[in-house]
Structure 1
Amino acid sequence: MLQGKAHAALISAPGSGQGKSMVTAALARLHRNAGRTVRVFKHGPDYLDPMVQEVASGQPVYQLHPWMTGEHECRWRLAKAAQEADVILVEGSMGLFDGSPSSADLAILAGIPALPVIDAWSMAQTFGAVAQGLANYHPDLAIHEVIANRIGSPGHGKLLNESMPEGIALLGAIPRHEAMQIPDRHLGLVQASELSGLDAQLDAAAKVLEEAGLGRLPKEVSLSADAPTPAPDYLRGVRIAIAKDDAFAFIYRANLDVLEEMGAALHFFSPLNDSTLPECDALWLPGGYPELHAARFSANQPMHDAIRAHHWAGKPILAECGGLMSCVEQLVDGDGNGHAMLGLLPGTARMAGKLTALGLQSLHTQRGELRGHTYHHSLLDTSLKPLARTRKLAGSEAEPIYIEGALVASYFHGYFPSAPKLVADIFTGQPIHQAE
């Protein structure tokens, strides 16, 4: 049994776009700069926010989601963090009660209070009503205080504080400040590796929060859970080459952990910059932004030749979302320009200029249920018939799973710890049999 205590809060908001990601990052940096060990987690499927939170906290960031990662794993990761950290911050997703399971459901499951960030840009006394509504909506959710974001003046902050209902405190009122702004694009925040000066910006944002009175620690909570059973060594001695650069970067840390737990040796490479693959038995092409780097990837013919040779030798490849897009014959970017891709699968991936799929999904097979999600802005035109399909929990229609030799490709992003045996089968080229 793992047991620990830490000051903890789930940072959420009434809806998306209220500033909770940057507030979470600034809080993490504020407490880190004060000499505290800070662990940040992210509710639900997300690759981009955790990149920024890792820079802010200086610690690894993992996903927590009662369905995708499982309730037991949520409790275990938090309890383990409480043994090492002074402060635990969980960044919520969407609005506090949006989705099923929602950010509020995670806070209730974990026994930690929610700390809503409310955009006060065009609000006065109604701010207090919003805070009261959030606090009273679910009887099992604890909300002791809230944060006002993007206030216009100290007088505005005073007005908001006076509107607070009994039993709920205003932790602080954050002024509009350039340090609190972070750029985004069609899939979310710009990748942390692409943001020059991010460290300095986070220090400046932490100073903004400190001056706004947000240096007070959240409530201390006790967290406990049993440790999970380790995954068997299904991949003992298997060498897996993993694409990782600005075009291929959507990788859950937990996915890497379970691959290593199963005995795999992981070797990273850049499809944009390298000319050869590492010595490997299997290849993973994760999601990312191939559409933003399509010309550069298309021009790297030595890498194309290396990946094709790997495939033609009958070695396994897992291609997820952006990885799938790189495996077809052509990718048409957002400007309408076509770029030659690997040609391992027939067809064209074309940017649609809008969101084309979003939702939690899972792949049901005789070797287990791989849980995960789909989220993309492109469409695939292919003559290839899928050999399996995901099932949707919520959101978009099921995603096709394309299998060509030992290549498994789909827009679906899998959370590997949910089905270790199935994942091991994919990386060892075993056939996938969809469950009825």
Structure 2
Amino acid sequence: MLPLTRHQTETRDSGERQCPALLLSATSSGQGKTTLTAALARHHRNAGRRVRVFKTGPDFLDPMILGRAAGSGTEAEPLDLWMVGEAGCRRALYQAAGEADLILVEGAMGLFDGVPSGADLAATFGLPVAALIDARGMGQTFGALALGLLHYRPGLRFAGIAANRVGSARHAEMIRAGLPAEVPFLGALPRLDEATLPSRHLGLVQAHEIADLEQRLERLAERIGATELASLPPAVSFHFQEPAPAAEVNTQADKDTQPLAGRRIAIARDAAFSFLYAANLRLLAQLGAELVFFSPLSDKGLEPADAVYLPGGYPELHLAQLAANSAMKQALGAHVSAGRVLYAECGGMLYLLEHLCDKHGQSAEMAGLLPGEGRLQPRLAGLGMQALAHPAGELRGHSFHHSTMSTPVAPLQHGIRQHDGAPGEPFYRQGPIRASYLHLYFPSAPAAAAALFLP
């Protein structure tokens, strides 16, 4: 099949663009959605198509893999009707439709799980859905599950159902034979142990840690190419009307839109601190900030900066190296002692504590800028969408961590749980330090995000 040509995705009018698109979902987590999405992205990239990939809901790890698979050089970005907002999702899809030959959206959990769900996203934008079912240990019951997915929500646009981890050709024939005629079948994928994407307690292993990731992706692309899944999905129309440009320049308004102008923000980014939304970085730059990056693992100091941003990640996997880098801890201490802002999320907050203990009971001294101790737990300790109220707007994000922390510092406020409005994660403020388990999506409230980095 020849690659698409640009006329198939070009703007038909000022507010409409068309592009083939597909939402890939499943019956639950662990069915192989990321593997399937990555396989399709690499297959179509190898066919010469420009592929844009998105991830439903908050996630940092899957997007690293998906970005590599698509070959875009960037991570797949989130689409979530609550966190990103319908307008933000619409703008992202519209922009992608003007740049790509194919849009792939990986769902989260099961197709109908969560409020809003992947099905809600598909219905809002008219995305056709391909649902994946893990067929291990299953025969004709596969057809019953497929039929239920197809009819659970009338009006949802279905591309079809796919079977994953099929044991043999005979097994695939049994599944196909047991499907009702009305169920479009997209094919069967065998068990591919050699191409399985490895995981750990927070999800998939980070892309840069998988030494043979390229070989795995190529193997997946080869196998997906032999199924009906490899066919291009139908085109979807994406609508977005750009706001009209202002007739006159308002100097005060311009200043208000760049509250971080002239401020330098030093952002931790290495193997221990890598949970960063690309949209957050873009917004900080749009707000006027100069962004510089540093590694708490290996750098011995900080460039002069007005604020420091410590994102989440895996500090618990690098305890010895973080503890041994006393020069970095001293540099962060000097930054805080000078009254300069330090904002930390989740793993970044754990690094600020006096001690952090991993799942094996090994403890190490951290930066000691926030009194208390963090401790990894055998089970998930925090999960869910939450908002953080601020006079300048409501910042939205999520919580997902396997650790607990104890500190004598009283929280300034708590997050607000999306599902019931109850108090969520504590948000701490001690001097110039602001810290929480929350991973915030800055474009949800730009002015409030800017305030995190202002004195």
**Common topology (TM > 0.5):** yes
8 A Cα contact 1:73 1:228, kept in partner: no
Percent of aligned pairs sharing the same letter: 48
What SS is found at the alignment partner of 1:314? coil
The separation in 2 between residues aligned to 1:29 and 1:419, in whole angstroms, is: 34
The separation in 2 between residues aligned to 1:299 and 1:279, in whole angstroms, is: 22
Match of 1:200 in 2: 215
1:125 aligns with one of 119, 137, 140: 140
One-letter amino acid of the counterpart of residue 56, structure 1:
A
What SS is found at the alignment partner of 1:399? strand
In the superposition, relative to structure 1, how do residues 162 and 397 fare at CA in structure 2: closer, same or farther (>3 Å)? farther
Is 1:331 aligned to 2:344, yes or no?
Answer: no
Is 1:420 aligned to 2:446, yes or no?
Answer: yes
Match of 2:232 in 1: 217
The separation in 1 between residues aligned to 2:344 and 2:61, in whole angstroms, is: 19
Is 1:373 aligned to 2:398, yes or no?
Answer: yes
What SS is found at the alignment partner of 1:235? coil
In the superposition, relative to structure 1, how do residues 282 and 339 fare at CA in structure 2: closer, same or farther (>3 Å)? same
One-letter amino acid of the counterpart of residue 57, structure 1:
A
Query: TM-score scaled to structure 1, two decimals?
Result: 0.96
The separation in 1 between residues aligned to 2:328 and 2:232, in whole angstroms, is: 50
Is 1:174 aligned to 2:189, yes or no?
Answer: yes
The separation in 2 between residues aligned to 1:304 and 1:311, in whole angstroms, is: 11
Is 1:14 aligned to 2:33, yes or no?
Answer: no
The separation in 2 between residues aligned to 1:2 and 1:316, in whole angstroms, is: 41
1:47 aligns with one of 60, 64, 67: 60
Match of 1:402 in 2: 428
One-letter amino acid of the counterpart of residue 254, structure 1:
A
What SS is found at the alignment partner of 2:452? helix
What SS is found at the alignment partner of 1:96? coil
Mapping for residues 104-253 of structure 1, pairs under 5 Å: 104-227=119-242, 232-253=257-278
8 A Cα contact 1:9 1:114, kept in partner: yes
The Cα offsets for residues 29-48 of structure 1, whole Å up to 9 and x where unpaired, read as 00100111100000001000
Query: TM-score scaled to structure 2, two decimals?
Result: 0.92
One-letter amino acid of the counterpart of residue 384, structure 2:
G
The separation in 2 between residues aligned to 1:366 and 1:163, in whole angstroms, is: 57
Is 1:296 aligned to 2:311, yes or no?
Answer: no
8 A Cα contact 1:3 1:80, kept in partner: no
One-letter amino acid of the counterpart of residue 422, structure 1:
A
Structure 1 unaligned blocks of 5 or more = 430-436
In the superposition, relative to structure 1, how do residues 2 and 191 fare at CA in structure 2: closer, same or farther (>3 Å)? farther
What SS is found at the alignment partner of 2:155? coil
The separation in 1 between residues aligned to 2:97 and 2:203, in whole angstroms, is: 29
One-letter amino acid of the counterpart of residue 90, structure 2:
R
One-letter amino acid of the counterpart of residue 366, structure 1:
P
In the superposition, relative to structure 1, how do residues 277 and 269 fare at CA in structure 2: closer, same or farther (>3 Å)? same
Is 1:384 aligned to 2:409, yes or no?
Answer: yes
The separation in 1 between residues aligned to 2:258 and 2:242, in whole angstroms, is: 18
In the superposition, relative to structure 1, how do residues 15 and 359 fare at CA in structure 2: closer, same or farther (>3 Å)? same
The Cα offsets for residues 387-407 of structure 1, whole Å up to 9 and x where unpaired, read as 111110138951111101111
8 A Cα contact 1:315 1:406, kept in partner: yes
One-letter amino acid of the counterpart of residue 24, structure 1:
T
2:37 aligns with one of 4, 16, 24: 24
One-letter amino acid of the counterpart of residue 36, structure 1:
R
The separation in 1 between residues aligned to 2:395 and 2:261, in whole angstroms, is: 21
The separation in 1 between residues aligned to 2:118 and 2:381, in whole angstroms, is: 24
The Cα offsets for residues 143-186 of structure 1, whole Å up to 9 and x where unpaired, read as 13111101111121122222222333211110111244111111
Match of 2:7 in 1: none
Q: CA deviation at 1:224?
A: 1.3
The separation in 2 between residues aligned to 1:166 and 1:417, in whole angstroms, is: 45
Match of 1:434 in 2: none
The Cα offsets for residues 277-319 of structure 1, whole Å up to 9 and x where unpaired, read as 1231110000000011011101001111111111111111110
Using the TM superposition, name which of 182-191 and 172-181 deviates more.
172-181
What SS is found at the alignment partner of 1:107? helix
Mapping for residues 297-376 of structure 1, pairs under 5 Å: 297-376=322-401
1:271 aligns with one of 292, 296, 299: 296
Q: CA deviation at 1:2?
A: 4.2
Q: How many residues align?
A: 429
